[in-house]
Structure 1
Amino acid sequence: MGREAIFIGEVSRKTGLSIHTIRFYEAEGLLPEASRTESGYRLFSSQAVEQLQFIQKAQALGFALDEIRELLVLRDRDTDACSITKSLVEEKLANIRAKIEALAALEVELKGVLVDCGRQLRRHPRGGTGRCPVLARAARNE
């Protein structure tokens, strides 16, 4: 990794992240604080660019910023990093499976609502009379 100093605009271009996002990650401690020119412009290292790319990849895998912060710490550790990371990934996978199950249940519920709507519309084609089954379910908190 070189000692090249890179202005924030170039970091933005290399990563595809907005300048605002890069500043946010720096403020949140996900990036080491950038050095500054005499004029106050931020100067980042090529290592910071790699760290931002790591953050992007972790986000694409569904990790939240707090989880990414933990992954960054683990990445720089030698001991137990792999087993701890494995546990974090297993936990993330379990959460995703739970969300998938909840979404599947929601899909079943919505399909039932559509059937009820179809029935209601066949009885009252213009929809002017009779109560909408979707609104009725919502009112009953079903």
Structure 2
Amino acid sequence: MRIGDVATATCLETQAIRFYERKGLLPPPGRSPNGYRVYDAATITRLEFIRSGQGAGLTLAEIATVLAVRDEGDTPCAHVRALLTAKLADVHTRQRQLRALETELDTLIRRSDTLDPADCTDAQICHIITPEQDAKIP
């Protein structure tokens, strides 16, 4: 099948398919006598896997490592589990960071309700986000 057929089957743009080829995520396709790329059904499976991996938050580099394990003839399940476990730990870390940011923003917004813009000095730039001890300095 040609690249347009693969694009239609996977709902990807042809440029995306070529990009994955350049990045080594797809093996080089065969060529027809007139130079068109020729793909087999395994390409569709591989592209669907790439998209699913991205949907799970894996980077293309991480997906490439999974594909490399599979291409060597091994099952990549343990490797995928390790990647997903690390990804989940990253999500938890980011959630903690976002909760801390939420608290900081709430504090600053509440603080802005108690401050008078007329009391803000040029040196402070904006006393809402100036550290509290600095905000008291005239």
Question: TM-score with structure 1 length normalisation?
Answer: 0.76
Superposed, 1:48-63 pairs within 5 Å as: 48-63=43-58
Which amino acid is the alignment partner of residue 54 of structure 1?
Answer: F
Which amino acid is the alignment partner of residue 130 of structure 2?
Answer: A
Report whether the alignment pairs 1:90 with 2:85: yes
Residue correspondences, number: 127
Superposed, 1:26-105 pairs within 5 Å as: 26-76=21-71, 79=74, 81-105=76-100
CA displacement, residues 23-69 of structure 1 (integer Å, 9 cap, x when unaligned): 01000000111112233221211110110000000000000011001
Distance 1:69 1:134, change over 3 A: farther
Identity, % of aligned positions:
32
Report the CA distance between 1:135 and its aligned residue: 5.0
Q: Secondary structure at the match of 2:113?
A: helix
Q: Secondary structure at the match of 1:54?
A: helix
Aligned residue in 1 for 2:110: 115
Distance in 2, Cα, partners of 1:18 & 1:117? 48
Distance in 1, Cα, partners of 2:75 & 2:33? 41
Aligned residue in 2 for 1:3: none
Report the CA distance between 1:118 and its aligned residue: 2.5
CA displacement, residues 70-107 of structure 1 (integer Å, 9 cap, x when unaligned): 11123345656333332222112111111111111111
Which one has more relative contact order, counting CA pairs under 8 Å at least 6 apart? 1
Question: TM-score with structure 2 length normalisation?
Answer: 0.78
Unaligned 5+ runs, structure 1: 1-5
Q: Is the 8 A contact 1:12 1:18 kept in 2?
A: yes
